[in-house]
Amino acid sequence: MENTPSIGKPISRLEGQLKVTGSAKYAGEYYAEDLLYGYVVNSTITKGKIKSIDTSEVKKMSGVIEVFTHENKPSTAWFDFRYADMDAPPGTVFKPLKDNDIRYNGQPIALVVADTFEMARYAATKISIVYEEESFETDLKTNVEKQRDPKKGLASMLKPPPPPPNGDFEKEYQNSYVKTDSKFTHGTEHHNPMEMYASTVIYEGKGKLKIYDKTQGTINSQMYVANVFGLKMKNVQVISPFVGGGFGSGLRPQHQLFMAVMASLALKRNVRVTLDRAQMYMIGHRPPTLQHTKFGADQNGKVNAIYHKATGETSRFEDYVEIVVNWANMLYPAENTLLQHQIVPLDVYTPLDMRAPGGSTGMHPIEVTMDEIAYQLNMDPVELRLNNYSMIDKSSDKEYSSKELKECFLQGAEKFGWDKRNPVPRSMKRGNKLIGYGMATGMWDANRIFGRAEAIMTADGKVEIKSAVTDIGTGTFTIMTQIAADELGLPIEDVTFSYADSKLPFAPIQGGSFTTATVGPAVQNACQALNKKLFKLAKNLKDSVLKDAKFKDVNFKNGLITLRSNPEISMSVKDIIDANEGKAIKTTNSAMPNPLTYGKKARAVHSAVFVEVEVDEELGMIEVKRAVTAVAAGKIINPKTAESQVLGGMVWGISKALHEETILDHQFGKYMNANLGEYHIPVHADIQDLEVIFVEENDQFVNDLGVKGVGEIGGVGIPPAITNAVFHATGKRIYDLPIHFDKLL
């Protein structure tokens, strides 16, 4: 039976049944004999010192094995943590239990280890701690004068600083036909994945550990553990096949991993440490950011002057930055720009990448500012963007490798029914509800980095592909299997994908929408190399029908090697394996961008978002009734999993615009709503008609597969589109996110 290509087919997740039946095991669910449980104790002050920490009575409790504090913490290698973590920003990485200094509220200050989780948690409440408190600063708005330029470091490779000023912004701005001058804010957000952070450490003796960790990078966690604890890399194995949501919170090793490994090595026992929901608010967040935009444009709406400044928070010990202000000049080719990004060190934990870090933050003011220009000119917002359309990234003066954003505008507008919009604010009504239409552009990087994969053909003619990459719920497991099946010419059921194990070939952390573009080409290369080995074996067989053929002359399809010129001439892959005495055929291959050519073009994913909102005229309550996102992201390997990614981003965008915010009480320096009851996220009733369109886009420059990532693009355009729709409905421009109904009363 002929197998058809699987790339481009909406294949359901191969691990879906395991997940929906509860059979999939997560980091805190693995069985280990004689397992001990650790519970983290967190500081209740924001800044100061521990004067004393009395654990004597707790250690006498039945079931308590040990209590670790800064006073009895086992020695570690204290390798510079920053170089043991692929996602660490410049600065000095926080080291749990290093000393008695308190740097932020909720800092881990002890670990209670007991024979049950309940006992460890109870005992943690009985430790007597005396603090010496110091004054602290946690409010970004009242400390803006302390802003400074972030230090440049390793993180800048994937997070470049703003480009230098171009032209004469002030002069061009003052001479512009229309001018905007707006200030924006958004609050703190926390990741809140369903699965909380856990590490189960199996002590195998002689410095060998097997670790089931919740992580977005098994090799990253392996590097961290080996370097911090002075272990050999080969003696540390990290496994993470199923991740119940990460959204960036698993890019860096979290402190439960450190605590579990520390306790396991010290006690020579199996140890599990799990963070509870409140403790999840102490491991990083999307930083609150203040932004200021000033755009100038001519009477046709052509933007000729762009000013965008962002001021975000960071910790006292690390310089966390995002790409916030770079986007405007990448979309709109103004000749005069002034782009600035500052950070303010505060007494908080270091912020952490959260889905579309910087893009979700920066695109909101950019696209709301463009909407302001459209209304000043009485111009359709879509027309305004088409008037500023460019195939050049002006910030780098490079041509885009591909850009089908224009088609996103056209197809998205048609699907949404944008032509039915009455452009006058507050002009459309449905009963007592004001109707608003809003749109915005979305943009995200299309990057790739280094990755490896192994391909093994076994004696039965089936193939196993191996890579250490994780699958954080994006469908990676499924689409890598699809890529391999098509390259090998095998049905998808004859290919297995082994992944999420640090013992497997190298893969980077899974984030930034670069996983498919990084690991996919490595899988492709490994499969092509395997095909070449098979072809060589086939040529060398006695009386081979392919003995005079070249590799470029053959196809691999349906488990056969066939001549392109005459498909009737073929050899069975199974026969070739049998002739090889049933020996497995292996190959391990790498893939990375060509350093000589990769930087010659700009690379990005684009989207156009259209939203309809209803606003209760009397109560100010906002509902998103429907939204359409049209995406241009190169070749779509699996429309089903890709659509799921974009839909998830759209839901999060609705959450960012209308619901989501962590409240910090600056009197105490503490997050006050560290739970899912008071940290508001959308429920089913908040999500109505969402639709995704994938616009055809051919790009052979980004990689041989022609793929770009879709993980981030779904979320970046929704918040400004909602904000613009609220203005159209009410005539009131809101500059702060989330938009609360009281701002419309």
Cβ atoms 497, 564 nearer than 8 A: no
Residue 480 CB-half CA count within 13 A: 36
For residue 27, tell me if it sits in a domain: no
For residue 28, tell me if it sits in a domain: no
Average pLDDT estimate for 659-671:
98
Q: Which residues pair with 567 in a beta bridge?
A: none
Beta carbons within 8 Å of 736's beta carbon, 6+ residues apart? 184, 185, 186, 743
Q: What angle do CA 82, 105, 219 make, to 5 degrees?
A: 30
CATH number for the domain spanning 268: value is 3.90.1170.50
Give tens-digit pLDDT for 48-57: 999 999 999 9
Q: Which residues pair with 130 in a beta bridge?
A: 52
Backbone angles phi, psi at 542, to 5 degrees: -60, 135
Eight-class DSSP state of 318: B
For residue 1, tell me if it sits in a domain: no
Q: Which of 695, 133, 724, 672 is nearest to 406 (CA)?
A: 695
* Residue where the block lists tokens 């994937």: 158
Cβ atoms 412, 630 nearer than 8 A: yes
Considering the domain architecture, whether residues 334 and 391 belong to the same structural domain is answered as yes
Backbone angles phi, psi at 434, to 5 degrees: -80, 135
Q: CA 395, CA 335: separation in Å to the nearest integer?
A: 9
Average pLDDT estimate for 453-471:
96
Q: Which of 480, 430, 475 is nearest to 451 (CA)?
A: 480
- Which SS3 state, helix, strand or coil, does residue 545 take? coil
In this predicted structure, the answer to whether residue 714 has a pLDDT above a threshold of 70 is yes
Considering the domain architecture, whether residues 98 and 209 belong to the same structural domain is answered as yes
Total count of residues recorded for the chain:
745
Amino acid letter, residue 730: T
Model's pTM, two decimal places? 0.97
Question: What's the pLDDT score for residue 1?
Answer: 47
Question: What's the pLDDT score for residue 85?
Answer: 85
For residue 6, tell me if it sits in a domain: no
Considering the domain architecture, whether residues 180 and 198 belong to the same structural domain is answered as no
Q: What angle do CA 419, 425, 427 make, to 5 degrees?
A: 75
Beta carbons within 8 Å of 259's beta carbon, 6+ residues apart? 38, 40, 68, 96, 108, 111, 199, 273
**pLDDT tier, 82 (very low <50, low <70, confident <90, very high otherwise):** low
In this predicted structure, the answer to whether residue 539 has a pLDDT above a threshold of 50 is yes
Domain boundary among 592, 626, 651: 592
Q: CA 657, CA 189: separation in Å to the nearest integer?
A: 11
Q: Which of 741, 722, 650, 656 is nearest to 687 (CA)?
A: 650
Average pLDDT estimate for 458-480:
96
For residue 30, tell me if it sits in a domain: no
Considering the domain architecture, whether residues 439 and 342 belong to the same structural domain is answered as yes
Reading the block at residue 352, the tokens are 């952490």
Q: Which of 318, 316, 366, 350 is nearest to 143 (CA)?
A: 316
Q: How many domains does the chain have?
A: 3
Give tens-digit pLDDT for 720-740: 999 999 999 999 999 999 999
Q: CA 699, CA 708: separation in Å to the nearest integer?
A: 9
Amino acid letter, residue 101: D
Considering the domain architecture, whether residues 534 and 475 belong to the same structural domain is answered as yes
Cβ atoms 465, 525 nearer than 8 A: no
Question: b/e string for 377-415 if b means 16 or more Cβ within 10 A?
Answer: bebbbbebbebbeeeebbbeeeebbbbbbbbbbbbbbee
The CA–CA distances, whole Å, from 542 to 533, 536, 538, 546 equal 16, 12, 9, 10
Share of the chain above pLDDT 70, in %: 98
Domain boundary among 542, 573, 592: 592
Considering the domain architecture, whether residues 662 and 516 belong to the same structural domain is answered as no
**pLDDT tier, 154 (very low <50, low <70, confident <90, very high otherwise):** low
Q: CA 536, CA 581: separation in Å to the nearest integer?
A: 15
Beta-strand (E) ranges in 347-468?
392-393, 398-399, 428-430, 433-445, 451-457, 463-466
In this predicted structure, the answer to whether residue 78 has a pLDDT above a threshold of 70 is no
Question: What's the pLDDT score for residue 156?
Answer: 62
Considering the domain architecture, whether residues 560 and 436 belong to the same structural domain is answered as no
**What H or E segment, with its residue span, contains residue 540?**
helix 515-540
Q: How many angstroms separate the first and last alpha carbons of the chain?
A: 66
CATH number for the domain spanning 628: value is 3.30.365.10
Amino acid letter, residue 512: G
Q: What angle do CA 347, 350, 352 make, to 5 degrees?
A: 145
* Residue where the block lists tokens 């439960």: 256
- Which SS3 state, helix, strand or coil, does residue 451 take? strand
Give tens-digit pLDDT for 172-220: 999 999 999 999 999 999 999 999 999 999 999 999 999 999 999 999 9
Eight-class DSSP state of 149: P
For residue 153, tell me if it sits in a domain: yes
Considering the domain architecture, whether residues 731 and 674 belong to the same structural domain is answered as yes
Considering the domain architecture, whether residues 579 and 675 belong to the same structural domain is answered as no
Between residues 531 and 160, the one the model is more confident about:
531
Considering the domain architecture, whether residues 160 and 127 belong to the same structural domain is answered as no
* Residue where the block lists tokens 């950019």: 366
116: number of Cβ within 10 Å: 12
Backbone angles phi, psi at 437, to 5 degrees: -110, 135
Domain boundary among 566, 592, 618: 592
Q: CA 374, CA 60: separation in Å to the nearest integer?
A: 71
Question: What's the pLDDT score for residue 86?
Answer: 86
Cβ atoms 325, 362 nearer than 8 A: yes
Question: What's the pLDDT score for residue 155?
Answer: 57
**pLDDT tier, 584 (very low <50, low <70, confident <90, very high otherwise):** very high
Q: What angle do CA 173, 177, 179 make, to 5 degrees?
A: 50
Considering the domain architecture, whether residues 635 and 588 belong to the same structural domain is answered as no
For residue 496, tell me if it sits in a domain: yes
Considering the domain architecture, whether residues 491 and 582 belong to the same structural domain is answered as yes
Q: Find the domain containing 472 and state its range.
A: 16-22+449-592
Question: What's the pLDDT score for residue 2?
Answer: 60
Sign of the Cα pseudo-torsion (173, 174, 180, 182, in order): positive
For residue 5, tell me if it sits in a domain: no
Q: Which residues pair with 609 in a beta bridge?
A: 440, 629
Mean pLDDT of the chain: 96
460 by Cβ neighbours in 10 Å (0-12 / 13-18 / 19+) ranks as exposed
Q: CA 353, CA 345: separation in Å to the nearest integer?
A: 17
Q: CA 372, CA 351: separation in Å to the nearest integer?
A: 31
Q: Which of 584, 310, 330 is nearest to 460 (CA)?
A: 584
Strands, sheet with 585-591, edge to edge from the N-terminal-most edge strand: 495-498, 463-466, 451-457, 585-591
Q: Which residues pair with 239 in a beta bridge?
A: 212, 501
Average pLDDT estimate for 305-320:
97
Amino acid letter, residue 555: N
